Amino acid sequence: MSRRRHAETTVDLNVLTWTQRGHQYVLIYDSHHKRDALDAVGRWAADPELNFSWYGAAVLSKRIRDL
């Protein structure tokens, strides 16, 4: 009989929120996907249908880089 060892994987999640003009934006990502998180806030700011500003994108981008 063989025994297998299973390595446990721990993933730390980062959660950032931004509230602007009555809308709340929540970003959840792990440390391996910082680039994807940065891309997401850029897409939010560029989307004219969202109430998300470039100022919000700048603030969240700094927080993403600092984490």
Neighbours of 38 (CB within 10 A): 17
Confidence bin at 20 (pLDDT 50/70/90): confident
User: Residue 28: its pLDDT value, please?
Assistant: 96
pLDDT beyond 90 at 62: yes
Using CA atoms, how far apart are residues 52 and 23, in angstroms rounded to an integer?
8
pTM score, two decimals? 0.78
Q: Between these two residues, 1 and 3, which has the higher pLDDT value? A: 3
User: Residue 66: its pLDDT value, please?
Assistant: 92
Rg of the chain in Å (alpha carbons): 17
Region 45-53: mean pLDDT is 94
